[in-house]
Amino acid sequence: MSSAAVMFDMEYARWLDEDNKYMAEIQGALQAQVLDANLSTIVEDCMRHHDELFHLRAVLARSDVFHLMTGMWATQSERCFLWMAGFRPSEILKMLIPQLDPSTEQQLLGMCNLQQSSEQAEEALEQGLKQLHQSLADAVGAGPLNDGADVANYTGLMALALDRLDNLESFYREADNLRQQTLHHMRRILTTRQTARCFVSLGEYHRRLRALSSIWASRPRENFMMPENVSSTATEFQAIHHQPQQNQFSGL
């Protein structure tokens, strides 16, 4: 990995440790029914904590966007749910809205509108990224592909591809900007206590995804044995496949 990727992985591990502490602090404050003024301080600290992660990811995108987009910094199960190297804002909102009860009609309307606008922004980013991928494929695959000795042609194609690849960073930074703005908009719509519950729910969601990877890796595994009926069928198929075929025109 690049030095930027190694540094990010270390900082992300530290961020996760601190995030667990914030989640425990928020849960304790909610259970203790602390005053909103005191809870607000914890919530704002948690918001700044997430802003720090977005800053770390922006630095990584400038240095090694491929490490960010492949999701190698996340667990296997988390990578299955990544959207442009992070969470999909509209899906997170869809998950959080049922956790808001009780809530006012105005708050529900605000959250639903935020979800809808997030979906529209996500679709625009997806279309733009799709066009970029096609543009890159066209650049890399342009011209004859069997003229490896043509250094000038190769150099020109790589220069064109690199020029278009520079746009890749901007797409992932825009996706992170959408995620960050979604959290801040949510904070303005909800009360302090509701926001605190959302942060706890968001933290628990990602904690379960990380736990899923550990459970999957440690699950009991039996030695792979082909079922008897499948084994016999495969044997018969192999026998037929290796038999010399009779010439259908042998009678002529």
Q: Which residue has the tokens 């960010």?
A: 68
| Range in 86-90, 167-171, 207-211, 231-235 with the lowest mean pLDDT | 231-235
Model confidence band, residue 102 (pLDDT cutoffs 50, 70, 90): confident
Q: For position 184, what pLDDT does the model report?
A: 97
pLDDT in tens, 190-244: 999 999 999 999 999 999 999 998 898 888 876 545 555 545 555 554 554 455 5
Q: For position 221, what pLDDT does the model report?
A: 76
Indicate whether 181 pLDDT > 70. yes
Indicate whether 112 pLDDT > 80. yes
pLDDT in tens, 148-160: 556 667 777 788 8
Average pLDDT along the chain: 86
Neighbours of 26 (CB within 10 A): 22
Q: What is the mean pLDDT of residues 89-107?
A: 93
| 82 vs 141, residue with greater confidence | 82
pTM of the model: 0.81
Q: For position 148, what pLDDT does the model report?
A: 57
Neighbours of 239 (CB within 10 A): 9
Cα 125 to its chain centre, rounded Å, is 14
Residue 60 three-state SS: helix
| 142 vs 97, residue with greater confidence | 97
- Residue 86 has φ and ψ, to the nearest 5°, of -165, -165
Residue 250 three-state SS: coil
Q: For position 1, what pLDDT does the model report?
A: 81
What is the total residue count of the chain? 252
Q: For position 25, what pLDDT does the model report?
A: 95
Listed in sequence order, the DSSP H helices in the chain are 3-31, 36-70, 76-80, 89-96, 105-140, 151-189, 192-217, 228-242
pLDDT in tens, 1-58: 899 999 999 999 999 999 999 999 999 999 999 998 999 999 999 999 999 999 999 9
> Residue 216 to residues 80, 210, 212: CA-CA distances in angstroms?
13, 10, 6
> In this prediction, what percent of the chain has a pLDDT beyond 90?
65
Task: Return d(Cα 187, Cα 171) in angstroms, integer.
Answer: 25
State the Cα angle at 89 between 88 and 90, rounded to 5°: 95
* Burial of 229 per CB tally in 10 Å (0-12, 13-18, 19+): exposed
